[in-house]
């Protein structure tokens, strides 16, 4: 219509923005299929958002009964009595926190140590192969680790490890009491095996993202390999390593099968790691199909909601920390 080409900066006079023209261009785009392709992919992208909203909505509405009945008391009382319909989640929260904390304590030095070795000290070829093997470890289904836990780890803990711990460190309340094999310690060890791959592979990535000149500068000043790593590279990547720890923590909190199979499933709070315990995920797995009555079922769903909220918050934190570090490291803002 207009003969003079209109550049983007020139404001278009109103009379040139005739509706017919916009409509025709829309029809043209429609005919070429672009608009349809856009709308179809948009619909599926929107479906992802909808599913997430639905997930939160379902968890929230299906846990309304215990929220009204118990309120915040649900989180801090420790009776779990399906017969009298009195539910408190404290023993499960306790078990979840203890197993996660112990497994983090075990996995952290091992995982970060291995990541440092793979990223900084090992020759690249060996590093790549080992990292590949460790990623495979992350792919082992949790139920299989539980199977090995029952038949390999638990007997080993019962006959070899726990008696020794009791004899040498028995003065601590952590290592007292009857030895069963199953219990908080067994669950923690299984969790350690499950979260180490995450700590290693993410810490390794974060360490690899540290700029090379940081290392060169330290080495040029006469630092040994280890000093350059420990005093320069690791502090640089610290935030990202924290991120990997939080990610591992979120995994540990939500892990179900392997823990359910070796923890003993006994809702009590004990100071000893040898004692059987229970976690939030395990009680949902064990009792969900047996839950009679709405209040019982909804109490289990409220436990799921608690687990959901905690893991989501920790996950978000982990992602932020990792993104901050890798972006800073590679120099792309």
Among 289, 331, 332, 333, binds other proteins (CB under 8 A): 289
Stretch near other proteins under the rule CB under 8 A, chosen from 77-85, 133-141, 163-171, 237-245: 133-141
Least distance (Å) from other proteins to the CB of residue 304? Answer: 5
Q: Find out whether 199 and 173 touch, Cβ atoms under 8 Å.
A: no
Q: CA of 257: how far to CAs of 27, 28, 150, 263, 299, in Å?
A: 54, 55, 12, 10, 20
Least distance (Å) from other proteins to the CB of residue 322? Answer: 12
Instruction: Please report where in the chains the tokens 């490890």 appear, as a residue.
Output: 161
Among 18, 23, 27, 37, binds other proteins (CB under 8 A): 37
Least distance (Å) from other proteins to the CB of residue 71? Answer: 21
Which residue's CB is nearer to other proteins, number 176 or number 253?
253
Least distance (Å) from other proteins to the CB of residue 181? Answer: 14
Please classify residue 67 by burial: count the beta carbons closer than 10 Å to its beta carbon, then call 0-12 exposed, 13-18 middle and 19+ buried: middle
Q: Find out whether 287 and 300 touch, Cβ atoms under 8 Å.
A: yes
In the region spanning residues 169 to 198, those forming contacts with other proteins, defined by CB under 8 A, are 193, 196-197
The contacts of residue 128 (CB under 8 Å, 6+ apart) are none
Instruction: Please report where in the chains the tokens 């974060």 appear, as a residue.
Output: 206
How far is it between the farthest Cα atoms of the chain? 95
For the chain, the straight-line distance linking the first and the last C-alpha, in angstroms and rounded, comes to: 44
In the region spanning residues 40 to 59, those forming contacts with other proteins, defined by CB under 8 A, are 40-49, 51-55, 58-59
Q: Find out whether 258 and 145 touch, Cβ atoms under 8 Å.
A: yes
Which residue's CB is nearer to other proteins, number 269 or number 288?
288
Which residue's CB is nearer to other proteins, number 68 or number 271?
68
> Taking CB under 8 A as the rule, does residue 209 contact other proteins?
no
Which residue's CB is nearer to other proteins, number 42 or number 76?
42
Q: What is the rounded CA–CA span in Å between residue 251 and residue 194?
A: 8
| Binding pattern for the stretch 244-283 against other proteins, x by CB under 8 A and - elsewhere | ------x--xxxxx---x-------------------x--
Which residues does residue 86 pair with via DSSP β-bridges, in sequence order?
A: 81
Least distance (Å) from other proteins to the CB of residue 130? Answer: 6
Least distance (Å) from other proteins to the CB of residue 333? Answer: 17
Among 104, 145, 207, 218, binds other proteins (CB under 8 A): 145
Report helix, strand or coil for 81: strand
> Taking CB under 8 A as the rule, does residue 26 contact other proteins?
no
| Binding pattern for the stretch 63-92 against other proteins, x by CB under 8 A and - elsewhere | ------------------------------
Question: What element of type H or E holds 83?
Answer: none
Least distance (Å) from other proteins to the CB of residue 215? Answer: 14
Task: Provide the token pair at 301.
Answer: 């769903």
Report helix, strand or coil for 86: strand
> Taking CB under 8 A as the rule, does residue 219 contact other proteins?
no
């Amino acid at each position: 219509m207009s003969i003079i080409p209109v550049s983007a900066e020139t404001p278009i006079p109103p009379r040139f923005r005739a509706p017919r023209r916009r409509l025709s261009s829309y029809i043209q785009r429609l005919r070429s299929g672009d608009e349809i392709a856009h709308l179809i992919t948009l619909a599926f992208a929107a479906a992802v958002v909808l599913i997430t909203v639905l997930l939160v909505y379902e968890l929230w509405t299906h846990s309304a009964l215990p929220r009204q009945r118990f309120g915040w008391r649900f989180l801090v009382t420790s009776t779990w009595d399906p017969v009298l319909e009195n539910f408190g989640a404290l023993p499960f929260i306790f078990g979840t926190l203890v197993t996660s904390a112990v497994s983090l304590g075990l996995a952290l030095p091992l995982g970060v140590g291995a990541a440092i070795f793979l990223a900084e000290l090992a020759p690249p070829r060996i590093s790549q192969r080992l990292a590949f093997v460790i990623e495979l470890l992350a792919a082992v289904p949790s139920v299989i680790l539980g199977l090995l836990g029952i038949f390999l780890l638990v007997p080993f803990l019962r006959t070899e490890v726990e008696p020794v711990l009791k004899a040498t460190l028995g003065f601590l309340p952590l290592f007292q009491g009857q030895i069963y094999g199953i219990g908080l310690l067994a669950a923690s060890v299984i969790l350690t095996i499950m979260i180490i791959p995450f700590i290693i592979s993410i810490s390794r990535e974060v360490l690899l993202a540290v700029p090379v000149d940081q290392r060169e500068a330290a080495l040029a000043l006469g630092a040994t390999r280890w000093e350059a790593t420990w005093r320069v590279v690791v502090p640089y990547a610290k935030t990202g390593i924290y991120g990997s720890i939080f990610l591992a923590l979120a995994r540990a909190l939500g892990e179900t099968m392997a823990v359910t199979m070796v923890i003993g499933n006994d809702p009590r709070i004990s100071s000893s790691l040898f004692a059987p315990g229970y976690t939030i995920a395990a009680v949902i797995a064990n009792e969900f199909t047996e839950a009679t009555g709405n209040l019982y079922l909804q109490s289990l769903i409220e436990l799921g909601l608690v687990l959901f909220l905690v893991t989501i918050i920790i996950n978000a934190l982990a992602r932020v920390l990792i993104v901050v570090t890798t972006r800073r490291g590679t120099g792309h803002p």
